[in-house]
C-alpha cells in the first residue's frame, strides 16, 4: 500500500470507476453511474471529489458529463455485434484510462480489466480498489455446485486454473477490496486477501428514479425479479411454491435461462405462476407485489433486494441475497437456498399472516433510508478516506 507521503497532493481527489464493457443504465453499470450521480448531486462532495465513469459504450439513458467512452456510440453499436469488437473496445477504454490516470488517483475496478491493465495502472502510482459484484472462486464455485445439485441439473464446466490465476492476479494488485456483502467478504478472505484490506460497502437504490405505487390485489403476489437461473435458485423456488400451495401468485419478471425452461417446464406451468420478460418499469412491477422473494445460491449484493426495501416489501431471501441489507426476522425471512420445505414455510407464513407482512414491511421501509445512493456514496467515500490523497 502506497504511503500517503509518497503521493502527489491534489486539491480534489480523482476517482475513476471502470467497467470497460458495453453498458446500459442497469446492472453492473448502474453501480458506477449511481455512485457518480450521488457525488454530482452533493455540492459539498463535488468540491472534494471528481468522479469519472469509464465504459466502452452506453445507451442514451446512461450518458453523463463525467462518462468516458472508447468510441462514438454508433460505431460502438456496430463493433459490439462481434466478440472481437467488444474485446477491442475494452482494450481501447483501458488504454485511454491509463493515459489519463496519474499518481494519487483512485481507480475502482469492476469486471473487465485484465491483470496487465491493473499492473500498468499500479505503476502509475494510483490506488487500486477492487469492487467485485460476485463472490470470488473457489467459494463461488462451491455455491454453484450446490445450486446445480439442488436443481438436479448437470454442472457446467467451471473456470480453469488459468482463469482462477487471472482473478488472483487482479486482486493481488489491489490496495483494497470493497465487499458488498459478508458472502463476498468471506470469499476474498478465502482467496488470501487480508481482512484489513476488505472494506464493507453496500450498494443502494435511487429514490429519485424508483418510486413504486402499491396496487394490492385480493390474493397475495410474491415477486421474483432477475434472471431465472439455477444460480438464482428459480428451480428450487418453483418447487417450494408448489409445495406451499398458496392461493396467490408468484410473479417472475426477467429472462429465464434455457436450461431452467427445458428441465423445469412442468413446474413453470403452474397456474399460479406468471412469467414476464425483463422490463425497465421496475417501479410498476414492485407496486404489484405484496412480498419479494430471491433465494439465490450465489450473489454479490443483488440490487433488486434494495428495491424491495424501498418498496416496503417483506422478503423471503437466502443468505447470499440478504447480505448485510435484510435481517432475518426484521425486514424478512432468511432461508437456505436449497431448503425447499423451509422456503415453502416462509412463503406460507407471509401469505397467511397479514400482521407479520405488515411488521416486516414497515421495517423494510424504514431500513431503506440507510441505502439510498446519496447515503451510500458518503459511506463509500468515508471507507476509502484512508486511501485518498490528502
What is each CA distance from 13 to 52, 119, 129, 315, 385, in whole angstroms? 11, 21, 14, 39, 10
Q: How far apart are CA 362 and CA 325, in angstroms?
A: 15
pLDDT tens digit sequence for 92-137: 899 999 999 999 999 999 988 888 899 899 999 999 999 999 999 8
Q: In the CATH hierarchy, which top-level class contains the domain 4-204+373-387?
A: alpha beta
Q: What are the domain boundaries of the chain? A: 4-204+373-387, 221-371
- Kindly state the DSSP code that residue 291 receives in the 8-state scheme: E
Stretch among 48-52, 86-90, 220-224, 341-345 having the lowest mean pLDDT: 86-90
Q: How far apart are CA 351 and CA 362, in angstroms?
A: 16
Q: How confident is the model at residue 11 (pLDDT cuts 50, 70, 90)?
A: low
Q: How confident is the model at residue 168 (pLDDT cuts 50, 70, 90)?
A: confident
Q: How confident is the model at residue 70 (pLDDT cuts 50, 70, 90)?
A: low
Q: How confident is the model at residue 316 (pLDDT cuts 50, 70, 90)?
A: very high
294 with 225: CB under 8 angstroms?
yes
Q: How far apart are CA 7 and CA 390, in angstroms?
A: 9
13-23: strand order across its sheet: 67-68, 49-58, 13-23, 106-109, 127-130, 176-179, 198-200
311 with 212: CB under 8 angstroms?
yes
List the grid coordinates of 371: 441505502
pLDDT at 250: 98
Half-sphere exposure of 337 (CA within 13 A, CB side): 27
Q: How far apart are CA 38 and CA 133, in angstroms?
A: 19
Specify the fold of 221-371: Rossmann fold (3.40.50)
* Range 229-243 average pLDDT: 98
Max Cα distance, the chain (Å): 66
Q: Give one DSSP letter per residue of 342-371, joined into a string.
A: HHHHHHHHHHH-HHHHHHHHHHHHHHHGGG
Question: Whole-model pTM?
Answer: 0.93
pLDDT at 80: 74
Q: How far apart are CA 340 and CA 10, in angstroms?
A: 55
* Range 329-352 average pLDDT: 98
pLDDT of 5 strictly over 60: no
221-371 matches 4-204+373-387 in CATH topology: yes
Q: How confident is the model at residue 351 (pLDDT cuts 50, 70, 90)?
A: very high
Q: How far apart are CA 180 and CA 191, in angstroms?
A: 16
- Kindly state the DSSP code that residue 205 receives in the 8-state scheme: B
Amino acid at each position: 500500500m502506497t504511503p500517503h507521503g509518497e503521493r502527489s497532493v491534489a486539491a480534489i481527489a480523482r476517482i475513476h470507476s471502470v467497467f470497460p464493457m458495453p453498458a446500459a443504465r442497469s446492472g453492473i453499470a448502474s453501480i458506477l453511474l449511481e455512485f457518480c450521480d450521488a457525488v454530482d448531486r452533493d455540492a459539498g462532495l463535488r468540491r472534494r471529489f471528481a468522479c469519472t465513469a469509464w465504459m466502452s459504450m452506453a445507451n442514451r439513458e446512461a450518458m453523463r458529463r463525467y462518462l468516458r467512452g472508447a468510441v462514438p456510440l454508433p460505431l460502438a453499436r456496430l463493433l459490439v455485434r462481434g466478440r472481437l469488437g467488444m474485446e477491442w473496445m475494452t482494450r481501447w477504454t483501458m488504454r485511454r484510462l491509463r493515459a489519463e490516470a496519474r499518481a494519487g488517483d483512485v481507480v475502482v475496478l469492476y469486471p473487465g480489466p485484465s491483470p496487465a491493465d491493473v499492473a500498468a495502472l499500479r505503476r502509475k502510482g494510483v490506488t487500486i480498489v477492487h469492487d467485485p459484484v460476485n463472490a470470488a472462486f473457489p467459494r463461488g464455485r462451491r455455491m454453484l455446485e450446490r445450486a446445480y445439485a439442488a436443481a438436479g441439473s448437470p454442472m457446467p464446466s467451471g473456470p480453469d486454473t488459468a482463469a482462477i490465476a487471472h482473478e488472483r492476479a487482479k486482486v493481488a494488485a489491489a490496495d483494497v477490496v470493497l465487499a458488498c456483502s459478508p458472502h463476498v467478504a468471506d470469499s476474498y478472505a478465502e482467496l488470501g486477501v487480508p481482512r484489513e484490506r476488505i472494506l464493507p460497502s453496500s450498494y443502494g437504490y435511487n429514490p429519485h428514479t424508483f418510486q413504486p405505487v402499491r396496487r394490492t390485489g385480493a390474493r397475495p403476489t410474491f415477486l421474483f425479479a432477475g434472471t431465472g437461473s439455477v444460480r438464482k435458485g428459480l428451480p428450487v423456488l418453483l418447487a417450494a411454491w408448489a409445495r406451499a400451495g398458496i392461493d396467490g401468485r408468484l410473479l417472475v419478471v426477467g429472462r429465464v435461462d434455457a436450461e431452467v425452461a427445458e428441465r423445469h417446464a412442468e413446474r413453470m406451468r403452474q397456474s399460479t405462476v406468471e412469467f414476464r420478460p425483463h422490463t425497465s418499469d421496475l417501479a410498476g412491477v414492485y407496486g404489484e407485489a405484496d412480498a419479494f422473494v430471491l433465494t439465490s445460491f450465489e450473489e454479490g449484493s443483488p440490487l433488486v433486494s434494495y428495491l424491495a426495501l424501498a418498496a416496503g416489501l417483506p422478503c423471503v431471501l437466502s443468505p447470499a441475497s440478504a447480505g448485510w441489507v435484510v435481517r432475518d426476522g426484521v425486514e424478512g425471512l432468511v432461508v437456505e437456498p436449497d431448503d425447499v420445505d423451509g422456503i415453502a414455510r416462509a412463503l406460507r407464513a407471509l401469505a397467511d399472516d397479514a400482521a407479520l407482512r405488515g411488521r416486516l414491511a414497515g421495517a423494510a421501509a424504514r431500513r431503506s433510508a440507510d441505502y439510498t445512493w446519496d447515503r451510500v456514496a458518503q459511506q463509500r467515500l468515508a471507507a476509502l478516506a484512508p486511501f485518498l490523497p490528502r
